[in-house]
Amino acid sequence: MMKTGAGIVNAARGGVIDETALMFALDKEKLAYAGLDVFDNEPTPSIHICMHNAISLTPHIGAATLEAQDRIGTELADQIATHFNK
């Protein structure tokens, strides 16, 4: 149970937080704020999430590191090679 007036941040996965329940808790002031960079309906969150004045939205850039981009490139090249070597 969270204290009244607490805030919540989800930067893990969309769907971890029930967005309908989140907005209800914000509207009833059980929660004071939310920070989200992942959503149920990615890459386009609902208009209600976008317009809520107690929710701060940021772009999810978890794969934007050089290491992650290198790994993705290697995995993609492996998949292409496997496809053509069948």
Length of the chain: 86
Is 60 catalytic? The answer is yes
Candidate list 29, 42, 48, 75, residue with the active-site label = 42
Query: What type of residue is 73?
Result: G
Candidate list 29, 52, 60, 67, residue with the active-site label = 60
Burial annotation 13-29 (CB, 10 A radius, 16+ → b, else e): ebeebebeebbebbeee
Q: Give the catalytic positions in this structure.
A: 13, 42, 60
